[in-house]
Structure 1
Amino acid sequence: MTEHTSDASWQETAARIVADSTLDAVIYADRSGTIRLWNDAAETLFGHTADHAIGQSLDLIIPEKHRGAHWTGWDRVMDSGRTRYGHDPLSAPGVKANGERVSLEFSIVMLKDDAGEIEGIAAILRDVGKRWEREKALRAKVRELEGQAQQD
């Protein structure tokens, strides 16, 4: 006979397996912007261990010059329960433990309690810096070829 677990227990187990297995960074922050979940891929991407990151503010990964805008938007979402993001991946800079900037693409999910109140936001992030550099090089090559074609 197979032992069955409750739906909540199964969901928590499945969520942990996904977060621990994905190649993307998975971060969850509560309403205050305090990091509560930091998977192995987040450690690799940002260079902070989970032990260091958990309990810290999201400022840990937000470049200083972007923090004001971030927290203004964060507060608006926490107050309204709505975000204009979530359907398309977002692009934003991040900062690693060593101070290096990283180009990020990510999606977010608002997590709500049974009453519909936001408990926090989960983000699934990836470094798109290499892709961005390739696209930049391709755009430069296209401009070069267009310039050559106009000279002919």
Structure 2
Amino acid sequence: MPSPIDLKQLMEAVGDAVMVADASGAITLWNPAAERMFGYTQSEALGQSLDIIIPQRQQQRHWDGYHKTMQTGQTRYGSDVLRVPAVHKDGHTLSIAFTVALLHSADQKVSGIAAVVRDETSRFAEERNLRKRLMELESQLATQDAPS
């Protein structure tokens, strides 16, 4: 088992955001990569609701699923990578991908959720541009191949 110092070093060194929220959705762990990704310092984020990074239009859906997971101890996502929008402190939108892990108390009740998050905003934009370009090229080919 790694020592606490090793875990602290890992949380500070890893390039992906690592965050933990308790059963109520309050942030209890926020590593330096989360600071860089979302713009909130650790002191600003700790104790705050996850709403600080969830777009307003997604919040109800998020909390419905979150509270159900806390009640049932089950998540339908398991080790699946989730891709959703998020919000930076300055208001700009991010495209993030993350995995979640349920955390349990000594009596095996779900006590929170850990997430490892990657900012995929640039990759998402590149893929969107490539799809757009492909559609344009296919349209041009269809026009050229059309009988006169």
For this pair of structures, how many residues does the alignment match?
A: 144
Select the residue among 51, 64, 67 that pairs with 2:59: 67
* TM-score in terms of structure 2 length: 0.91
Find out whether 1:35 has 2:27 as its counterpart. yes
RMSD across aligned positions (CA)? 1.3
Provide TM-score, normalisation by structure 1: 0.89
SS of aligned partner of 2:68: helix
Query: Is 1:137 aligned to residue 129 of structure 2?
Result: yes
Q: Give 3-state SS (helix, strand or coil) of 1:94's partner.
A: strand
Unaligned segments of structure 1, at least 5 residues: 1-6
Instruction: Kindly report structure 1 stretches of 4+ aligned residues shifted beyond 6 Å.
Output: none
Output the CA distance in 2 between the equivalents of 1:75 and 1:15. Answer: 28
- Measure the CA separation in 2 of the matches of 1:107 and 1:118: 17
Q: For the residues of structure 2 that align with 1:92 and 1:143, how far apart are their CA atoms?
A: 24
Q: Which runs of no fewer than 5 residues in structure 2 stay unpaired?
A: none
Q: Alpha-carbon deviation of 1:13? A: 3.4
Alignment of 1:105-120 (within 5 A): 105-120=97-112
Determine the structure 2 residue equivalent to 1:98: 90
**What CA distance in whole angstroms lies between the structure 2 residues aligned with 1:129 and 1:88?**
19
CA distance in 2, matches of 1:14, 1:76: 33
